[in-house]
Amino acid sequence: MVKQIRKLKSLYLTFLFLTFKTNFKTYCCQNFNHNTTIFLLMSSNSSTHYSRHLLDFSKTNQFSGLFLDFISQKENLREFYGNLPQLEDFEKQIELKINRQKRDKNLDNHKREILVNTLHNQYSKTENPPTETINLLQKETTFTLTTGHQLNIYTGTLYFHYKIQTVINACKILKEKYPNYDFVPVYWMASEDHDLEEIASFNLFGTTYTWQTDQKGAVGRMNTKGLNDLGFKEEKAKELGKFYKNAETKNENLTHATRQIVHSFYQKDDLVILDGDDAALKRLFIPIIKNELETQNSHLKIEESSKKLDELGYKTQVTPREINLFYLEDNLRERIVKNENTKTFEILNTDITFSASEMMELVESNPEKFSPNVALRPVYQEIILPDLSYTGGPGELAYWLQLKSMFEYFEVDFPILLPRNFVLFIPKVIHQKMNKTNLSFEEIFNSFDRLRINYATQNAENDVLLENERKEIESIFDKIEAKSIKTDTSLQKSIAAEKHKALKRIEHISKKLRKAEERKLSDAIGQIKSVKENLFPKGSLQERYDNFLSFAINDEDFLDKIQDVLNPFDLRFLVVTESNI
């Protein structure tokens, strides 16, 4: 009943948004620039007014040159990716996939059948699975848009949700644009990742909660003991903890618990959640596994692209291995290396070895024992999914740009690289402080020291920069220098040194005046500091530090509201402000 009520509530909110959108659009055009949009949402507690502000990525000082050049479609990067992350290019990508399907119709049907059956099996213990959506994948006119992420406990940071919401919204927009096709959003769980430290903590209201466990191997296979209660008092956090407790009780793992949690959020959006740690899916990957073990060509292709990117001045993200595969068992995920002297394959940090023939037999009998690393995982993903695009952040897209030549080598279609949405949410209390101190959305991305100095300078009763005095001193020394040249040119260096000393003294006095003004403006500067600490905790982007519970505890519709304003095809940074009507 509770789920039904929430679903109806979500539909009602959508209705309200659509109802008011047209009226507010006209209002916005008259009162705001093209980077600002106003819309109305009704929360469960009160009416709140949300504003949507768009900034060019370059104005935030948060992104690498590679990402900025990719977004701006710099010509020197064109060879490293395929179709562009824009709506009209998806038609080209669809044609690319359809042509591939026509050439390999039997293979495509076989892959789709395995994918559908596997998903049904993976969802067998999930309440209200997306059965109809999964079945759509049997049709050759159905395509996927995928994002991937680690199994962060309690969903980790905010951008975990923003990635998923990006592909969900993109699918909805594509369905409107191309109604003859179906588009399925997919969350690929990085269940085979073995870096426990990266997923085992999350931040809530200034406190870091950490899962204490000594388990090893692929994180998705770990049991969830101890995850249900990490010592927090917030009821909503405890509600999520029940998913982990339920998994522990039923002897299920972190993969299963994560699926249940994410499904509870995005069931209404028909999100399909896929676990790549699956024997049936790995069978489709056997030809690539064998090629990797026999030829070790993938790292050569990646290194070729990496060298080109490096020569263009870009920093690469991935260093490929000669064999980009791990050996996977319960409690174990270690690299496979080839011993050229003995012609055997060894599993690092173990005593496990295989002859060449034994290794090939193992590939055929147990492909699930082979796990692609970060360089080869994208190929595995694109082989088993009818994928049009992959959505990730700057770091992910950077390493995907290293992979196109490897995709061509394996004759796998390279997907559109669709950046995720980036969001800074400004609660109404913080927004009020920004208004009081006249902080603009561009300015808040500056350091606190820069903001403090700028505010004191702009609001000082006196000219703390001493610009006029500085100019007068420069003028006086220029006159002295002009006179001295007529008498003795050797004095020129001495006069220049004295001028430099005088200007340094003026600069020193200016700093003292500014600090005095800062003391007089301490209340306002304190508010600026509060804004920075709230929006950029520990100096990080909010979306890369805070957990969604930080906002959902006060507004249970927080994630739905954010999703309503995300446009995957508007490649700009989104600032969302909250205020009372």
CA distance 87 to 145: 13
> Using CA atoms in the order 61, 67, 70, 71, what is the torsion angle rounded to 10 degrees?
-50
Look at residue 466 in the predicted model and tell me its pLDDT.
Answer: 61
Q: Is 149 helix (H, G, I), strand (E, B) or coil?
A: strand
The confidence score (pLDDT) of residue 243 equals 85
* Lookup result for tokens 């220049």: 496
Distance CA 35, CA 209 (A): 37
CA angle 54, 55, 58 (to 5 degrees): 155
Q: CA 302, CA 317: separation in Å to the nearest integer?
A: 11
Residue 451 tokens, joined: 């903001």
Question: Within 13 A of 323's CA, how many CA atoms are on the CB side?
Answer: 24
Identity of the amino acid at 478: D
Query: How much is the pLDDT for 11?
Result: 38
- 278, two tokens: 């699956």
Torsion angle defined by CA atoms of residues 288, 113, 116 and 103, in that order, rounded to the nearest 10 degrees: 60
Instruction: Name the β-bridge partners of 551.
Output: none
Q: Which residues pair with 566 in a beta bridge?
A: none
pLDDT at 141: 97
How many CB atoms neighbour CB 438 within 10 A? 12
Q: How would you class 384 by CB atoms within 10 Å of its CB: exposed for 0-12, middle for 13-18, buried for 19 or more?
A: buried
For residue 220, give the nearest of 246, 188, 242, 250 by alpha carbon.
188
Using DSSP's 3-state secondary structure scheme, residue 66 falls into helix
Q: Locate tokens 């100019």: which residue?
A: 471
Using only C-alpha atoms, what is the Rg of the chain? Answer: 29
Which residues lie below 8 Å from residue 202, measured CB to CB, with a gap of 6+? 152, 153, 154, 155, 156, 157, 208, 209, 547
Q: Are 38 and 28 in contact (CB under 8 A)?
A: yes
Quote the tokens at residue 95: 């044609």
Looking only at the bridges linking them, the beta strands covering 573-580 and 207-210 are unpaired
Is the sign of the CA dihedral 430, 432, 434, 436 positive or negative?
A: negative
Confidence at residue 84, expressed as pLDDT on a 0 to 100 scale = 97
Distance CA 397, CA 57 (A): 15
pLDDT number for residue 105: 84
Distance CA 271, CA 145 (A): 10
pLDDT in tens, the chain (581 residues): 334 434 433 433 333 333 333 333 322 332 323 344 434 343 344 467 678 999 999 999 999 999 999 999 999 999 999 999 999 999 999 999 999 998 888 888 999 999 999 999 999 999 999 999 999 999 999 999 999 999 999 999 999 999 999 999 999 999 999 999 999 999 999 999 999 999 999 999 889 999 999 999 999 999 999 998 888 877 778 888 888 888 878 878 999 999 999 999 999 999 999 999 999 999 999 999 999 999 999 999 999 999 999 999 999 999 999 999 999 999 999 999 999 999 999 999 999 999 999 999 999 999 999 999 999 999 999 999 999 999 999 999 999 999 999 999 999 999 999 999 999 999 999 999 999 999 999 999 999 999 988 887 777 555 555 666 777 777 777 777 777 777 777 777 787 887 788 778 777 766 766 666 556 567 888 889 999 999 999 999 999 999 999 999 888 889 999 999 999 999 999 999 987 76
Run of H or E residues at 289:
helix 286-295
Cβ burial, residue 330 (10 Å; 0-12/13-18/19+): exposed
Query: CA-to-CA distance for 571 and 55, rounded, in angstroms?
Result: 9
- Please name which of 417, 413, 373 lies closest in space to residue 397, comparing C-alpha atoms: 417
Neighbours of 99 (CB within 10 A): 11
Which pLDDT score is estimated for 389? 98
Q: What is the pLDDT, as a whole number, of residue 92? A: 97
Q: Are 401 and 81 in contact (CB under 8 A)?
A: yes
